[in-house]
Amino acid sequence: MLSRTAENLFWLARYVERAEYIARTIDATLRVTALPAAYIGKTNEWESALLTAGVSQSFYEAYGEANERNVIEYLSFNAENPSSIRNCIEAARLNSRSVRTALTSEMWDTINGAWIELQEVWSKGTTSREELARFLRFVQETSLRFDGSAYRTMLRNDAYWFSRLGVHLERADNTARILDVKYHVLLPEEEHVGGPLDFYQWTSILRSVSALTAYHWVYRETLKPWLIADLLILNDSLPRSLASCYGNLVRNLDQIGVAYGRQGPAQRHARGVRNRLEHSHMDDVFQHGVHEFIQEFIADNARLGEIVTKQYLI
Amino acid sequence: MAVAFDEMNGPGGDVRSAYQELSRWLKETPPDALQYRRQEAELLFRRIGITFAVYGDSDAQERLIPFDVIPRILSGKEWTVLEKGLKQRVRALNLFLRDIYHNRDILRANIIPDDLIFQNPVFRPEMNGQDVPHDVYVHIAGIDIIRVDDNDFIVLEDNARTPSGVSYMLENREIMMRLFPDLFARHRVAPVERYPDELLSCLRSVAPKSAAAEPTVALMTPGIYNSAYYEHSFLADKLGIELVEGRDLIVKNDEVFMRTTEGLKRVDVIYRRVDDDFLDPLTFRPDSALGVPGLMSAYAAGNITLANAVGTGIADDKAIYSYMPDVVKFYLGEEPILKNVPTWRCREPKDLSYVLDNLGDLVVKEVHGSGGYGMLIGPAATKATIEAFRDKLKREPEGFIAQPTLALSTCPTCVESGLAPRHVDLRPFVLTGRDRTTIVPGGLTRVALKEGSLVVNSSQGGGTKDTWILDE
């Protein structure tokens, strides 16, 4: 297929995934900040939301204070923020238009329909909590529909695999970013700097990757920070864990490699990252330093994006 | 202006035969139902994303072309005549182009003045003496047809460069079949859905000699900001070919390749929807970012077929248009089946003085204009506009032609107040391949939605209708 088409499919999937992630982040932050101050301590959760979205620096160039109103506006509607939900949806539609021929009508319909629906939200904004909640839910549902229609209607060929690469690469980045910002509340008990207040932080983390219920099913335990870290990093049965994302990335890249009859640096790099995750134990990760581990992962993941681009997309 | 010929209610007010059933159906159908279906159709169009960008109008970056749910109907007999006339016309266009870029017999016979060709900016000296595969220049032609009475079909304009609108022919039909299955059950309407198949085999048939047995065809678009982008993606999809932009293509050793995820892949035929000027920055406009450097040299080497060929603009130029009846006679030795609109060439002093004396009654068009821009419709214009045109005409007479204001035929159309007659034209699409010329029975009917308006262009508030050819 055309390199440009593959590139558009890859980015289309990334933008949709990112829009959902930002919506989840806002959702989770709203829940945590609705608690009485005694339960969450003095951290500014809106500041964390900016950090997990990776846009804290550009935010402060445009706004003064990281409060609820400013951050929601910046993350949801701001046209200058390339990662705002608005820009993700706009970019997703732009990419969809460029590759209409490679999309199924269900996928196009999802993106175009959402884009039409959201024009009104862009022009008016949301005026109440209910409206905001409806908007955030709509964005998440759009992503689910998009994912579902891709899964159900796309031919299983390179177009599908490149789009999946986008999903998993973006998802891995998002999960890693939450861990990066919140790692300090996930340290083992003895090193722990927080207190019992962190319970609400933990549920918030799990909520933002839709893993709260999953946690209980996997560990049948009360919330333990190191188990949360284990779930999000190493447990490949959780779709948003780093291990699961890399399992999928390796598989998709292999499928492309088989179809084209050729493996390359992208396949090798992804396998390297996957093997490291597979052979890691949480104890080692903590020993090594969670922060360092995550930082390294984020760099590796970004590197994979560059390699895939060079090998296939330009 | 005379009362226009209405295609449903003929001259005497009797319903013409092709419209009998529709007329009955309209009487049975409550007006609300039509309005409701109209809204439904609009929703479908928006959902599918069949939009059209209008240049210079940032608010309406993506606009819908209004769709009218009342079909325009031609009888099988009328179509047979029209089809024959269209094939004749396009055959003549192709022979004319071959001649202009080779022997120039028609110039030597003094049928067309030399300067009209050589001074013409759409004449491409690069094409002099260059052979194109199978001598086909105009693979896809969109011939704009109007009627003023029951008898004749008149060519308003030949579109031999990159005519658009065929996606509307196909989508309008799809939507009509979805909205009015009962109405279809009561008619025998010739299908249009094989157009993409015909187009693909047409394009494959003209592949260059150096192509593989299974030639690779691609559709080249200027990109998503082009007004007809939806159509480009629609056609690429229906044909199952890659939709490429200039940056996807690269020329190596005079062969054209596209950049794919598996490396470079040779392309043999490009159905290009990019104007000549933007095809190759090395030959044409150096500032063009849409083109492919070296494309023209691959073309000269005979390794790529461009459809339509480069330089076809000289055949559909409005100044050449007035000579078309002579062109048909010269190459085919036949009387033209389709008429021309009588045209005054303002470059000729006698014609110019007539035009200047009668500006209030005439339509004046720029020779190189298109899309309904830059034209004067005398009867509808203010005094000031007419005077402004008079100055332009005096300053640059060779830039204009003039025609009588024709009462284009009307068709019943669904408007706010109910059904009302509105002026229409018709663009059938003529495909010319290596061995044969085909026309899918139908075309794009454009309708001027404003009462009394004669301008059907979508950029000027025109709409479209489904066009039915009855299979009798």
Q: Identify the CATH number of the domain in which residue B363 sits.
A: 3.30.1490.270
Residue B55 has pLDDT above 60, yes or no: no
Q: What is the pLDDT of residues B247-292, one digit of tens each?
A: 999 999 999 999 999 999 999 999 999 999 999 998 888 877 789 9
Q: Are residues A188 and A138 in the same domain?
A: no
> Given B248, B279, B303, which residue is the final one in a domain?
B303
Domain of A26? 11-154
Output the pTM of the full model. Answer: 0.85
**Residue in A97, A112, A313 nearest the CB of B224:** A97
CA A43 to chain CA centroid, nearest Å: 23
> Which segment, A35-39, A309-313, B318-322, is predicted with the most confidence on average?
A309-313
Tokens (6 digits) for A84:
């705002």
Distance from CA of A84 to the nearest CA of B (A): 22
- Asked if residues B301 and B254 have their Cβ atoms less than 8 Å apart, the reply is yes
> Given A108, A126, A154, which residue is the final one in a domain?
A154
Residue A5 lies in a domain: no
- Asked if residues A78 and A62 have their Cβ atoms less than 8 Å apart, the reply is yes
Compute how many other C-beta atoms are within 10 angstroms of the C-beta atom of residue B225.
10
Q: Are residues B152 and B240 in the same domain?
A: no
Domain of B281? 209-303
Q: Are residues A133 and A163 in the same domain?
A: no
pLDDT at residue B60, as a whole number:
46
Q: What is the pLDDT of residues A232-247, one digit of tens each?
A: 999 999 999 999 999 9
Q: Are residues B43 and B142 in the same domain?
A: yes
Range from B235-249, B310-324, B394-408, B454-468 carrying the lowest mean pLDDT: B454-468
Q: Are residues B292 and B310 in the same domain?
A: no
Find the mean pLDDT for residues B115-138.
94
Give the residue from B307, B327, B251 showing the smallest Cα distance to B134.
B307
> Are the Cβ atoms of B224 and A158 closer than 8 angstroms?
no
> Are the Cβ atoms of B233 and A313 closer than 8 angstroms?
no
Q: Are residues B316 and B219 in the same domain?
A: no
User: Residue-wise over A224-237: b if at least 16 C-beta within 10 A, else e?
Assistant: ebbbbbbbbbbbbe
Q: Are residues A174 and A239 in the same domain?
A: yes
Residue A194 has pLDDT above 60, yes or no: no
What ipTM did this prediction achieve? 0.79
Residue B2 lies in a domain: no
Q: Are residues B218 and B174 in the same domain?
A: no
Q: Are residues B308 and B422 in the same domain?
A: yes
pLDDT at residue B58, as a whole number:
46
C-alpha distances (whole Å) from B348 to each of B112, B117, B396 are: 13, 15, 12
Residue A202 lies in a domain: yes
Q: What is the interface size between A and B, counted as CB pairs within 8 Å?
A: 52
Please, what is the angle between helix A3-33 and helix A45-53, to 10°? 170
A249 three-state secondary structure: helix
Mean of per-residue pLDDT scores for chain B: 91
Tokens (6 digits) for A213:
């219920």
Residues of B in contact with A257 (CB under 8 A): none
Q: What is the pLDDT of residues B143-157, one digit of tens each?
A: 999 999 988 999 999
Q: Are residues A193 and A283 in the same domain?
A: yes
Confidence of residue B57 (pLDDT cuts 50, 70, 90): very low
Residue B410 lies in a domain: yes
Compute how many other C-beta atoms are within 10 angstroms of the C-beta atom of residue B208.
18
pLDDT at residue B63, as a whole number:
72
Q: Which residue of A has its CA nearest to B219?
A: A101
Residue B229 lies in a domain: yes
Give the whole-number percent of chain A exceeding pLDDT 90: 64
Distance from CA of B261 to the nearest CA of A (A): 5
**Residue in A4, A116, A312 nearest the CB of B46:** A116
Interface of A with B (CB under 8 A): 1-6, 94, 97-98, 100-101, 108-109, 112-113, 116, 158, 162, 256, 260, 312-314
Find the mean pLDDT for residues B28-41.
88
Q: Are residues A170 and A314 in the same domain?
A: yes
Residue B163 lies in a domain: yes
**Residue in B236, B244, B261 nearest the CB of A312:** B261
Cα torsion B229, B234, B239, B242 to 10°: value is 50
Q: Are residues A139 and A261 in the same domain?
A: no
C-alpha distances (whole Å) from B51 to each of B67, B290, B449, B462 are: 12, 21, 18, 14
**Rounded to 5 degrees, what are φ and ψ at B302?**
80, 25
pLDDT at residue B175, as a whole number:
92
Q: Are residues B186 and B262 in the same domain?
A: no
Mean of per-residue pLDDT scores for chain A: 90
> Given A154, A170, A189, which residue is the final one in a domain?
A154
Q: What is the pLDDT of residues B367-387, one digit of tens each?
A: 876 666 678 888 888 999 999
Residues of A in contact with B223 (CB under 8 A): 98
Residue A231 lies in a domain: yes
Q: What is the domain-level CATH number for residue B226?
A: 3.40.50.11290
Q: Are residues A200 and A314 in the same domain?
A: yes
B249 three-state secondary structure: strand
pLDDT at residue B431, as a whole number:
98
In chain A, how many domains are there? 2
> Given A108, A132, A154, which residue is the final one in a domain?
A154
Residue A2 lies in a domain: no
Distance CA A169, CA A248 (A): 9
Q: Are residues B203 and B284 in the same domain?
A: no
Residue B67 has pLDDT above 50, yes or no: yes
Q: Are residues A185 and A311 in the same domain?
A: yes
Alpha helices in B259-395 (DSSP H): 295-300, 313-316, 318-321, 324-332, 349-357, 383-395
**Residue in A6, A100, A313 nearest the CB of B233:** A100
Tokens (6 digits) for B341:
């609109």
Residue A192 lies in a domain: yes
Q: Are residues B215 and B66 in the same domain?
A: no
Please, what is the angle between helix A225-233 and helix A198-208, to 10°? 20
Confidence of residue B56 (pLDDT cuts 50, 70, 90): very low
Distance from CA of B205 to the nearest CA of A (A): 23
Residue A62 lies in a domain: yes
Residue B373 lies in a domain: yes
Q: Are residues A148 and A229 in the same domain?
A: no
Which residues are B68's β-sheet partners?
A: B465
Residue A4 lies in a domain: no
pLDDT at residue A188, as a whole number:
61
Residue B12 lies in a domain: no
Q: Are residues A294 and A161 in the same domain?
A: yes
> Are the Cβ atoms of A4 and B46 closer than 8 angstroms?
no
Residue B62 has pLDDT above 80, yes or no: no
Range from A2-11, A15-24, A71-80, B60-69 carrying the lowest mean pLDDT: B60-69
Q: What is the pLDDT of residues A150-170, one digit of tens each?
A: 999 999 999 999 999 999 999
pLDDT at residue B209, as a whole number:
92
Tokens (6 digits) for A194:
């927080």
Q: Are residues B160 and B296 in the same domain?
A: no
Residue B334 has pLDDT above 50, yes or no: yes
Find the mean pLDDT for residues A188-204.
65
Find the mean pLDDT for residues A203-217.
87
More confident residue, A312 or B418: A312
Q: What is the pLDDT of residues A130-155, one digit of tens each?
A: 999 999 999 999 999 999 999 999 99
Residue to substitute from A3, A12, A95, A99, interface B, most B β-carbons within 10 A: A3
> Given B358, B387, B404, which residue is the final one in a domain?
B404
Find the mean pLDDT for residues B390-404.
92
Q: Is the dihedral of CA B170, B176, B182, B184 positive or negative?
A: negative
Give the whole-number percent of chain B exceeding pLDDT 90: 74
Please, what is the angle between helix A212-219 and helix A225-233, to 10°? 100
DSSP label of B450: S
Residue B11 lies in a domain: no
In chain B, how many domains are there? 3
Q: Are residues A128 and A163 in the same domain?
A: no
Confidence of residue A250 (pLDDT cuts 50, 70, 90): very high
Q: Are residues B123 and B185 in the same domain?
A: yes
Give the whole-number percent of chain A exceeding pLDDT 70: 95
**Rounded to 5 degrees, what are φ and ψ at B289?**
-95, -5
Q: Are residues A216 and A312 in the same domain?
A: yes
pLDDT at residue A189, as a whole number:
57
Q: Are strands B255-260 and B462-469 parallel, antiparallel or unpaired?
A: unpaired
Q: Are residues B194 and B64 in the same domain?
A: yes
Alpha helices in A67-157 (DSSP H): 68-72, 85-98, 105-124, 129-153
Range from A26-35, B21-30, B144-153, B270-279 carrying the lowest mean pLDDT: A26-35
